[in-house]
């Protein structure tokens, strides 16, 4: 059943390799009745907007489309999140499905921390058909190369970029998941990056922890993770904090 979100205005800032499929995916699910496209490249937003108008004609979708070349929109939002490790979570589940030979619909599990080498597979969250991964492996006699799975999660996007120039529809579908859950108040759990003050940290950092996503963001599953998983996420948060402070120093604001 389709659920339409009336009175919703979504802006997609950046209409390049990821922005276009993100907007198109959101558009096809009719998640907004007003869409703003923003890109600083002259003509980019306009050209893509024209294509989406043609798609709207095909879908008989009454949507208002605006295009801009300046990113000065102010959302007035009560909170700011990022998609965090949700795209990595999708890669994690994909690899588990392939390696275990099970349908992707049967696979649960999350990634936490941040992208790249600080993306951590949260094995305590993994289940196959509702069965915890260790119990599943024990009952089936199957083997799983966990280090190989982690290497895939951390490295597959670079391989995609090297071959076709960038990731596109994978991240776009992840963005769609999160936007849809917020707008439709679904309360689904995604590994978003929210501002968290973690133990031993001197300030809040936007780091990825599986979190309930709806019109109010939270709670997360921090307390149910293993101690090792929590420490890995804290290490990722410290790396994010260090990069942020280095960036401030580079522009003379630290």
Give residue 87's region: left, alpha or beta (phi > 0; psi -120 to 50).
alpha
Pick the CATH number of 86-248 from 3.30.2020.10, 3.40.640.10, 3.90.110.10, 3.40.50.300: 3.90.110.10
**pLDDT digits 0-9 by tens, 38-88:** 999 999 999 999 999 999 999 999 999 999 998 777 566 666 788 999 999
**Are 182 and 80 contacting, i.e. CB atoms less than 8 angstroms apart?**
no
The CB density around residue 199, as the number of other CB atoms within 10 Å, is: 8
**pLDDT digits 0-9 by tens, 9-26:** 999 999 999 999 999 999
pTM: 0.90
Beta strands 107-113 and 119-128 are antiparallel
Q: What are the structural domain ranges in the chain?
A: 9-68, 86-248
| Active-site choice (9, 66, 115, 120) | 115
- Give me the CATH code for the 9-68 domain, please: 3.40.50.720
Domains 9-68 and 86-248 belong to one CATH topology: no
What CA dihedral angle connects 29, 60, 13 and 180, to 10 degrees?
-20
Distances, alpha carbon 198 to alpha carbons 5, 187, 190, 194, 241, in Å: 35, 23, 18, 11, 12
Catalytic residue check, 115:
yes
**pLDDT digits 0-9 by tens, 134-191:** 999 999 999 999 999 999 999 999 999 999 999 999 999 999 999 999 999 999 999 9
């Amino acid at each position: 059943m389709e659920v339409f979100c009336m009175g919703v205005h979504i802006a997609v800032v950046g209409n390049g390799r990821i922005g276009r499929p993100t907007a198109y995916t959101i558009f096809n699910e009719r998640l907004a009745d007003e869409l703003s496209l923003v890109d600083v490249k002259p003509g980019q937003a306009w050209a893509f907007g024209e294509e989406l108008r043609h798609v709207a004609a095909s879908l008989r979708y009454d949507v208002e489309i605006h295009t801009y070349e300046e990113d000065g929109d102010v959302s007035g939002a009560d909170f700011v999140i990022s998609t965090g490790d949700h795209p990595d979570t999708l890669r994690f589940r994909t690899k588990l499905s392939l390696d275990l030979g099970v349908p992707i619909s049967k696979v649960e599990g999350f990634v936490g921390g941040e992208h790249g080498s600080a993306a951590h597979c949260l094995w305590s969250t993994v289940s196959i058909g509702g069965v915890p991964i260790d119990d599943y492996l024990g009952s089936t006699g199957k083997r799983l190369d966990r280090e190989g799975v982690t290497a895939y999660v951390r490295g597959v996007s670079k391989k995609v970029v090297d071959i076709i120039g960038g990731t596109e529809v994978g991240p776009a579908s992840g963005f769609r998941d999160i936007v849809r859950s917020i707008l439709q108040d679904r309360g689904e759990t995604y590994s978003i990056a929210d501002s968290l003050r973690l133990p031993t940290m001197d300030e809040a950092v936007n780091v990825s922890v599986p979190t309930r996503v709806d019109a109010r963001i939270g709670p997360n599953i921090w307390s149910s993770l293993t101690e090792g998983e929590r420490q890995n996420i804290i290490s990722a948060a410290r790396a994010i904090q260090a990069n942020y402070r280095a960036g401030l120093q580079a522009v003379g604001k630290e």
